[in-house]
Each structure stands twice: as structure tokens, then as C-alpha cells.
DNA sequence: CGACGCTTTGACACAACTCAACAACCGTGG
DNA sequence: CCACGGTTGTTGAGTTGTGTCAAAGCGTCG
């Protein structure tokens, strides 16, 4: 098992403890790690795809482009996240997926994934659980876009990101690296980069959160959570008992 | 098999043809149909739940409430839709679910559902596929809230609803019954009811679409699609080959 | 040093919201 | 049958949050 493949195992273990056999199978079924350059598009909308991506390191985003040239970013998969499960079921992708920084990942081909799901129902359960969590996050995102103001949405976003990164050891309670620029943030939060800038300034001036040279610092977690009406995505939920299915 | 339970079968059959045995099992595993009054809350946020709902007739909505009193409607499940699959995995619901009109549905308990998934992998595949389609629709919704104007979003909404209802025979190309009032539409589309009213007026004045006494009439499907940049959710995709998993 | 990508700021425009009425509709009971 | 209240739809006037356009500042890298 590659050390670098641990993020996935860490995340799945959060849902349910995997045996050594399951863990080593999980490591074995993955391709060798691949590294691509920032900007590389790994999946474009409507592309036929027969594999999933497991992020090991780096930043990427899944998104949808609109005919008027704007784009909506759906998600920023972090290390340990799996991209393309739904696409596998659909056969063709309903979103694009590209690297924002140099990106290291492995892949699993559909047949091997399906075989694994047949042979290791507990692993299948973990993947389903993980997919369900991703879906829950997408719904939070949806609610934010529909009903939260720009500043609430932004605060909420950085809090959620923090929690996801903590899960794989890439953030502390108060800070984490985050190379997302204001154009990218704008596309994720349904705003313009100009307005994101104003919002970040306000958060900074209110001493709640600051973003400087790729580093997010949460200065006042309590007040920030209050502003965002933030509820933890993961911690509020009972840990899964991964029975078959 | 109850005739009234056909909507689910119709929808799953759209994904992959089920055998007679599968169809009758699917009918058998469901509870007797239940009817509840409009307004009844079937699932509230954070509720523990151990069953899924299969809508047979009537209108309902899943939503999230925000502490400031506003709400964001996630989805309007239509007959044949299944509510609560993700909740089953999470053990507690991350959204509320309530009836908007008198509502007829069946339920499937978690253990029986899991048993069915073990015994009939093709049914499991259909449910997963169906869940994936719901997720894809949620993503469309997310994109709309983030990047589309009020009128585009509204047009898009009615087009998508039309297609979903057509799938179960509840709409023609040009019209369908839809008892959603403007408050409800507003909560779904991330707008105020007042603004929805103005948007509907504009759609009416431009002879694209009109909503009168619970009836949606699509007057100019082509222009409406152009306005909304609408792409079919279901038709664009290859029909599934439902192999196990 | 200049070029480029990203951030920051200002002035202005506009889409959508708020508040406040009023009108239409509908079922209910007198 | 009409009067009534509640719900839903409609409209106007004014406000505000966010977008648009334009330009300048700042780092970094070649």
C-alpha cells in the first residue's frame, strides 16, 4: 500500500473501520498515482467515463459551464475524496472536472470497482456513505446559494472546507492552506470576483477570517459560525455501522 | 401488485427493464398505500428514519429550514420518486419532507430494502441509478441558483418539471397540473413570492408560459428552452444497462 | 525591467427585495 | 343567497445587495 494513498482510507475509516484485508485490497485496486499539471481537465461535461478518481494531493474542482460563459463550481474535492461515482452510473459525466494546482491522484476502473463492491460489501457501504456525504454537502451548497447572503455564504464555505480538511489532517481548528483565488471562489459561491473581494475585506475588518497568500486564518471561529449559521456536516451525525449495503 | 404502485415501476423501467419476478417483488416489498392530508410533515430535519417513501400520487417537497425563518425547497418528488435513500445511509435526515397536497405513498423499511438489494442486484442498480438522477437534478438546481437569473431559473424549473411528469404520464408536451403556489415556488427558486409573481407575468406577457389555477401551459416550448438554456436531464443520457451494481 | 496574474478600489447600474396596499378567489356559515 | 374571512395573487414605490465597468496597485517570474 502506498503511504500516499492513505487519505482515502482515513476518510472511509471515519465512516466505518475497515479490516486490514479490506484496506490492502482497497490500496491494490487503485492505479499507480498519477500527477498532472495545474489546469489539466480530467473530465469534461458529457464525456463518457469508465473510472473514478481518488484525490491524493492538490486542489481540483468539479463544475458546470453555462452557454453564456459563466461557470458554477460544484465542489472542491480534497485529498481522500472520490470523483466520478455518479458519472459511472450515468455513463456520461454531467459536469467537468479539472486540476487547480498540480494534482496527484489514483484511478479505479469501473470493472474492478464493481468487482470490489461485490467482494467487499463493507467497502461498498463506505463508498455509498461517502457519496451520501458528498450529496449532503452539495445540498448545503444549494441552500446557501438560494437563501444565504454573500457574506454568510462565504463564511459558511470556509468553515465547511476547514472541517473537510481537518478530517484528513490538512487543517487545524484555526488555519489551513487554500490556494483558491477570488475568481474561483466567485464561481463557487455564485458571486463576482469583485464582490468576493468586498466580502473578504469585510470578514477581515470584522476580525472573523482572513485570507492571505494562500492561507486561510479563522480568527474568531465562534462568531464566524454564528454569522454563517454553520452546523457541522460530519460531526452531527452518528458514525455509520457499515453492514453489508 | 397494486395498480397504483405502478409509477415507481414505470420509472425504474425507464432505467432498465425489470423482469416480472423483479416487478412483483418490488410491489410486494412495499407497504400498503397510505394517504395523508396536505401539510403533514412526514420527516423533519434531524429525524432518525428507517424507511423510504415511494410517492404514488399528490405533491410534496423536501426542504431545509434556516434559523432566520426562510426555507429552501430542495425538490418536489413526483409520483414514482423515492424519498429518503440518503437519509437511510446517514441514519438521520438532513432535510424535512412534507405533503403539499393530500399525498398517497408507500414505504419500504430499511431491512426489507437491504434484503431486496442483496437478492435483486438489478433492482439495486435501478435504485442507485434513480438516486444518481435525483442528484444530477439537484446539481442542476444548484447551478440555477448560483448562475441563472430569476426568469431563466423559473423557465428552467417548469421545463424540468414537465419532463419529470411526462416520464410518469402526468404531463403532455404543452401542459400539466401543478398546484404549487407562488410562496412555494419562491422557496424553491430562491426568490420572494412577489418577484416570482413579476417573473410569471413576464413569461405570460412574452407568451412563453402561463400558470393559471393550478395548470401550467407551455405556450412556446422552443423559445422557453432557449431562454432557460434547457437541456433534458433524462433524454440526453444513454439508457442504463443494469448489470449487478 | 516589463509582463502577467491576481487583488483592490471607486462610481454607477440594475436585479431582486421590502414594505404596503389592494384585488381576486374560495369555502364556510349565517 | 350573500357576507365573510382566509388564502393567494397583483401592483407600486422605494431600498439594497450585488453586478458592471474601469483603473490602479502589487508580486512574481522570466
**How large is the average pLDDT for residues B60-86?**
95
**How large is the average pLDDT for residues B19-23?**
92
Distance, CA of B60 to chain centre = 9
pLDDT band with cut points at 50, 70 and 90 for residue A1: very low
Contact across the interface for B143 and A64, Cβ inside 8 Å: yes
Nearest CA in chain B to A242: B89
**How large is the average pLDDT for residues B162-185?**
94
What percentage of chain A reaches a pLDDT higher than 90? 82
Nearest CA in chain B to A147: B190
Enter the pTM of the model: 0.92
On the question of pLDDT at A237 being above 60, the answer is: no
A3 touches chain B (CB under 8 A): no
pLDDT at A181: 96
Nucleotides of D under 7 A from a protein CB: 7-12, 17-22, 28
pLDDT band with cut points at 50, 70 and 90 for residue B2: very low
Burial of B48 (0-12, 13-18, 19+ CB in 10 A): exposed
pLDDT at A11: 80
A217 touches chain B (CB under 8 A): no
DSSP 8-state class, residue A91 = S
- Asked if residues A80 and A7 have their Cβ atoms less than 8 Å apart, the reply is yes
- What residues have CB less than 8 Å from A201, skipping those under 6 apart? none
A95 touches chain B (CB under 8 A): yes
Among candidates B5, B160, B179, B28, which has minimal Cα distance to B79?
B5
pLDDT at B235: 53
Q: Give the span between the Cα atoms of A162 and A146, in whole angstroms.
A: 22
pLDDT tens by residue, A119-131: 999 999 999 999 9
Is A90 (CB) below 7 Å from strand D?
no
On the question of pLDDT at A232 being above 70, the answer is: yes
Nearest CA in chain A to B229: A67
Distance A195 CA to D19 C1' (A): 8
pLDDT at A7: 78
pLDDT at A235: 53
Amino acid at each position: 500500500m502506498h503511504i500516499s494513498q492513505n487519505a482515502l482510507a482515513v476518510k472511509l475509516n471515519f465512516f466505518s473501520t475497515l479490516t486490514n484485508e479490506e484496506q490492502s485490497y482497497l490500496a491494490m485496486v487503485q492505479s499507480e498515482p498519477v500527477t498532472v499539471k495545474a489546469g489539466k481537465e480530467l473530465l469534461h461535461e458529457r464525456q463518457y467515463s469508465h473510472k473514478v478518481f481518488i484525490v491524493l494531493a492538490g486542489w481540483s474542482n468539479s463544475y458546470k459551464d453555462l452557454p453564456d460563459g459563466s461557470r458554477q463550481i460544484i465542489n472542491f474535492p480534497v485529498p481522500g475524496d472520490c470523483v466520478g461515482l455518479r458519472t459511472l452510473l450515468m455513463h456520461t459525466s454531467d459536469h467537468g472536472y479539472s486540476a487547480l494546482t498540480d494534482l496527484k491522484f489514483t484511478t479505479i476502473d469501473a470493472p474492478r470497482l464493481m468487482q470490489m463492491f461485490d467482494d467487499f460489501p463493507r467497502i461498498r457501504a463506505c463508498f455509498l456513505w461517502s457519496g451520501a456525504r458528498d450529496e449532503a454537502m452539495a445540498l448545503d451548497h444549494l441552500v446557501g446559494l438560494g437563501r444565504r447572503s454573500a457574506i454568510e455564504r462565504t463564511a459558511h464555505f470556509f468553515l465547511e472546507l476547514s472541517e473537510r480538511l481537518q478530517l484528513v489532517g490538512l487543517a487545524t481548528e484555526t488555519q489551513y492552506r487554500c490556494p483558491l483565488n477570488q475568481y474561483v471562489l466567485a464561481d463557487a459561491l455564485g458571486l463576482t470576483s469583485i464582490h468576493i473581494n468586498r466580502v473578504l475585506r469585510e470578514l477581515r475588518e470584522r476580525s472573523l477570517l482572513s485570507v492571505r497568500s494562500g492561507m486561510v486564518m479563522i480568527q474568531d471561529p465562534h462568531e464566524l459560525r454564528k454569522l454563517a449559521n454553520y452546523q457541522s456536516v460530519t460531526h452531527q451525525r452518528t458514525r455509520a455501522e457499515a453492514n453489508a449495503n
